[in-house]
Every structure is written in structure tokens, then in C-alpha cells.
Amino acid sequence: MRLDKYLADMGIGTRSEVKQYIRKRLVTVNGALPTGAQQKVEPGHDQILYRGEPVSYVQYEYFMLNKPGGCVSAVTDRDCRTVLDLIAKKNRKDLFPVGRLDKDTEGLLLITNDGMLSHNLLAPGKHIPKTYFARVSGEVTEEDVALFAEGIDIGEKKDTLPAELKILSCEEGISQIELTIMEGKFHQVKRMFAAVGKEVIYLKRISMGALKLDDTLAPGEYRPLREEEIELLKGIY
Ligand code: URA
């Protein structure tokens, strides 16, 4: 890999900025000044220093974010804060959210630059389960449980796949539920409840495949995935 790409990938600067740093002798490779920006380096083997500080190469990064309401599941947005704006301590510049949560939805969002893992988690044929906690206005009933288990019409070509609805409580006209769906249609949870005449007033994703939201993360907080969590996620395909 070229030295300038190595440094740019690790967020030291843009490709042209890192070329300048190399020219200004701010970068060393194995203790020596490099021959130029195009010098080949081997990640994990060569020791690269920028301003005397080691720059180790990270190929993939994985973060679990507890998405807060009010930010969008995008990399950039002209008007609104994005989930990527919340990830301050990142090495890679090519991170993206795996799938989308609505602007007002909270909870588990995986942020990575691993395109293969993302594809495998989102591919429609894989039916990766996603579990949501929701507060719903109105009384969610056993009839709704049965309808969701059969699959319902939300205005798509096909009915939804069977989904598991658990009623947790119902007080003062507000039901608390958990719903596990095996697909990820646009606004799916809200549309499923709308189809039975109810409105989702709060929605939070609590798991995706084998990955569970760390309940010590407050909305807006994130942490790197643990090695075993990455393995678990990769193990499902
Ligand atoms: N279903 C929804 O309606 N919204 C989300 O953000 C996720 C699932």
C-alpha cells in the first residue's frame, strides 16, 4: 500500500495534506524518512510515525451506537446531525451505518466500514431478526399478536413475514411491547401498528441478529464492538 493512502485511510489528513506532511519530513517509516508519498508500506509490519507518534493501521472498525432521537442514519446531511457525527474516536473515514433507523427512533445501530458484513446483515434473503421495544398508543391485543404472527398487509406487494409480538404492559391507554421482525421495510414497525389502527409513539431497537444493545450506553453514546461480538455477527451467515 502507498504511504499516502495508509496515512489518509487512518485519518491523518486528505491525500494532498498527507503528501505535504511527508514533504515536510513529519513522517518516518521504520525510523527513516520515506522516499516519497508513493513509497510502499506493509500494514502491520512497517512502523509509521507521524510527528513522532505511531500510526497503526486499522482495516475495519465496528462501533455499537445507541442512536438518539433527532439525528439521521446517514454519513452526511446538509441540515441535520448524523449518526457519524456522534462517533468522535474513529480511525477510518469510510464508516457508515448498517441500515437505517428513522430520525425519531433510538437504539442499536452498527457503524462500520465492513461492506461484506453490512451486506450480509441487510440482504433481504438472510432474514436477520431485529427486535424493537415500542410504546404504542391504544391497547395492543392478543388479536394483534396473532395477526403479526401470520403476517399483515402494510401496502407492499407481499404481507409482512411472521413477526413475534410480545405485550409487556398496558397502562392508561399506552401499551409497551417488544416486536421481532425478520425484514427491514421502510417504517416497518410503525406501518405494522398503523395497519391494526395503532400509533407507535416511541421506538427503540434493542437487538439485530446476535448483537444486543449494551444497556449501559445512554442515547448518543457508543463503544467499539468486542471481538466476540464481531465474531457472533459474522457467524450468522
Ligand atoms: N421500523 C420503523 O418504523 N422505524 C424504524 O426506525 C425501524 C423500524
Neighbours of 9 (CB within 10 A): 21
User: Residue type for 207, please?
Assistant: S
Catalytic residue among 46, 77, 85, 102: 102
**CB burial readout 15-38, b (16+ within 10 A) else e:** eeebbebbeeebbbbeeeebeebe
| Partners of 205 in beta bridges | 107, 132
pTM (predicted TM-score): 0.88
Q: What are the pLDDT digits (tens) for 100-158?
A: 999 999 999 999 999 999 999 999 889 999 999 999 999 999 999 999 999 999 999 99
Task: List the residue whose alpha carbon is closest to atom 4 of ligand 1.
Answer: 187
Query: Beta strands 164-171 and 222-224: pairing type?
Result: unpaired
With bands split at pLDDT 50, 70 and 90, how would you rate the model's confidence at 236?
Answer: low
**Nine-digit cell at 110?**
452498527
* Residue 138 DSSP label: B
Question: Which set of grid coordinates corresponds to residue 219?
Answer: 442515547
214 is catalytic: no
| Mean pLDDT, residues 22-49 taken together | 96
Distance 185 CA to ligand 1 centre (A): 8
How many angstroms separate the alpha carbon of residue 105 from the centre of ligand 1? 7
Partners of residue 177 on adjacent β-strands: 134, 167
Whole-number average pLDDT of the chain? 95
Instruction: State the pairing for strand pair 106-112/62-67.
Output: antiparallel
Instruction: Return the ∠ at Cα 100 (arms to 194 and 179), rounded to 5°.
Output: 45
Contact between 138 and 198 under an 8 Å Cβ cutoff? The reply is yes
Atom of ligand 1 nearest to the CA of 130: 8
What mean pLDDT comes out for the span 15-42?
A: 97
Angle at 171 between CA 166 and CA 174, to 5 degrees: 70
Beta bridge partners of 50: 27, 53
* Ligand 1 closest atom vs CA 102: 6
Q: What is the pLDDT of residues 165-191, one digit of tens each?
A: 999 999 999 999 999 999 999 999 999
At residue 93 the predicted structure's pLDDT band, cuts being 50, 70 and 90, is confident
